Chain A
Amino acid sequence: MEYLVIFISALLINNFVLSYFLGICPFVGVSNKIDSALSMGFAVTFVMTLAAIVSWGVYNLVLVPYKLEFLEIVSFILIIASLVQLVEMFIRKTSPTLYQALGIYLPLITTNCAILGVALLAVLKGYAFVETVVFAFGAGLGFTLAIVMMAGIREELDGADIPSPFKGPGITFITAGILALTFMGFSGLIR
């Protein structure tokens, strides 16, 4: 039950993009086509879950026992950067099709604040191992949901008559604002 609460909370109520503002850069950059948004979403979910697992291990098994908590930020970002590299190499070797679909998004992920955000928030909330995994997975799916919805709306917006200064980023943010408002409807889902 507790796991379900964490999952729903990360997916809908405290959606990473729409209420924590994490992963805004790819959200604005890659959200113009549904296909690419979906690939980006899956790449992020995958790396996010993996990164949360590894950084949980490093934090709780290395940093805490040796009282090195102050190295949290440095070690997490290095974990993420090297993890992205490893995943990229691994996918390129094993599955060229998957690499074609996800490959170009992987390097972008290192500087995606959502990944580091998941690792940091899991520590901040003091989650245990399974909770961290559920949290990261939910957050990744939440990111995917938000970015795909946004892409769907933006595909329609292409044909709309928008005042020229608001074309591009302006209308994207305003749309995101309306999306965030609709997501507020999910509050109170868990009581």
Chain B
Amino acid sequence: MKEKSLGAEFIKGLWKENPVLVMLLGLCPTLAVTNSVNNAIGMIGAVFFVLTCSSIMVSIVKDLVPSQVRIATYIVIIATFVTVADRFLAAYFPELSKALGPYVPLIVVNCIILGRQEAFASRHGLVESIADALGMSCGFGIALLLLSSVREILGNGTWMGIKIVKGWFTPWQVMILPAGAFLALGVLVGIVHFLMDRKS
């Protein structure tokens, strides 16, 4: 474990320990904002910012915080960065902020972020924590992009708002409805498990 290189800390988040597809964490934003690729990108940006900043802070202050109150302290740190992200989106990207609605504040309780603080940043140095946070955000990003692409193409015939499927295709509207989110994620998780089983 200790010998792991920085590259390995980064890579593991992408596939083997992908927070969404394998560890099934942070599902509520995953399902809620993947009805369009644009929304997903906004969410990825916010999570990337919050996760990286919180990991940096936590790995700096980890020795100062008594273990009984560490969760509470981490939550305060995370909530602070989430508020910053939320206010920033509301000020500079009002449309996106409206579309994401309460799901930006809800990053606070996103299990990925608290989970990484508890499992990683509080036990490792600054540089490893940054590598881990970057890897995890990228893994989160990959999962969201995949899911939102599938849902937007099938459900709306568009990708990032650009029409890509011609007239013969009738969009499956169900895919951009809540039900479609569950169906798409279920199939995606199934495929990931299938690929992993075959590898091992």
Interface string of B162-177 (1 = CB under 8 A from A): 0000000000001001
Is B194 part of the binding interface, using a Cβ–Cβ cutoff of 8 Å? yes
Bound-state CA distance A69–B174 (Å) is 37
Q: Using known A-B contacts A165-B194, A178-B179, A184-B179, determine if residue A20 contacts B79 with beta carbons closer than 8 Å.
A: no
Contact call B111/A25, Cβ cutoff below 8 A = yes
The closest CB in chain A to the CB of B180 belongs to: A177
Segment 64-92 of A: residues with Cβ below 8 Å from B: 70-74, 77-78, 81
Q: Which of A52-60, A93-101, A117-125, A133-141 contacts B (4 or more CB under 8 A)?
A: A117-125
Contact call A113/B28, Cβ cutoff below 8 A = yes
Is A24 part of the binding interface, using a Cβ–Cβ cutoff of 8 Å? yes
Our count of residue pairs bridging A and B at CB distance below 8 angstroms stands at 125
Contact call A181/B174, Cβ cutoff below 8 A = yes
- A124's contact among B72, B102, B187, B194, by CB below 8 Å, is which? B102
Interface string of B75-102 (1 = CB under 8 A from A): 1100110110011000000000000011
Contact call A173/B102, Cβ cutoff below 8 A = no
Interface string of B25-47 (1 = CB under 8 A from A): 10110011000000000000000
Contact call A116/B108, Cβ cutoff below 8 A = yes
Bound-state CA distance A147–B193 (Å) is 24
Is A18 part of the binding interface, using a Cβ–Cβ cutoff of 8 Å? yes
Contact call B105/A120, Cβ cutoff below 8 A = yes
Residues of B within 8 A of A173 (CB): 182-183, 185-186, 189
Residues of A within 8 A of B111 (CB): 25, 111
- B27's contact among A21, A170, A178, by CB below 8 Å, is which? A21
Q: Using known A-B contacts A78-B76, A113-B106, determine if residue A165 contacts B197 with beta carbons closer than 8 Å.
A: yes
| Interface of A (DSSP majority class) | helix
Contact call A70/B83, Cβ cutoff below 8 A = yes
Contact call B106/A81, Cβ cutoff below 8 A = no
Q: Using known A-B contacts A77-B75, A170-B189, determine if residue A20 contacts B32 with beta carbons closer than 8 Å.
A: yes
Is A45 part of the binding interface, using a Cβ–Cβ cutoff of 8 Å? no
Is B109 part of the binding interface, using a Cβ–Cβ cutoff of 8 Å? yes
- Min CB distance A184 to B, Å, is 7
Contact call B189/A169, Cβ cutoff below 8 A = yes
Interface string of A148-181 (1 = CB under 8 A from B): 0000000000000001111001111111111111
- B193's contact among A28, A120, A166, by CB below 8 Å, is which? A166
Is B178 part of the binding interface, using a Cβ–Cβ cutoff of 8 Å? yes
- Min CB distance B112 to A, Å, is 11
- Min CB distance B120 to A, Å, is 17
Residues of B within 8 A of A170 (CB): 186-187, 189-190, 193
28 contacts between A and B (CB under 8 A): A20-B178, A21-B31, A24-B27, A24-B31, A25-B25, A25-B111, A28-B27, A73-B79, A73-B82, A73-B105, A74-B76, A74-B80, A78-B76, A78-B79, A113-B106, A116-B108, A116-B109, A124-B101, A124-B102, A165-B194, A170-B186, A173-B182, A175-B186, A176-B186, A177-B180, A177-B181, A177-B183, A178-B179
**Additional pairs, 8, CB under 8 Å, beyond known A78-B72, A166-B193:** A24-B31, A25-B111, A74-B76, A116-B108, A120-B105, A124-B101, A174-B182, A177-B180
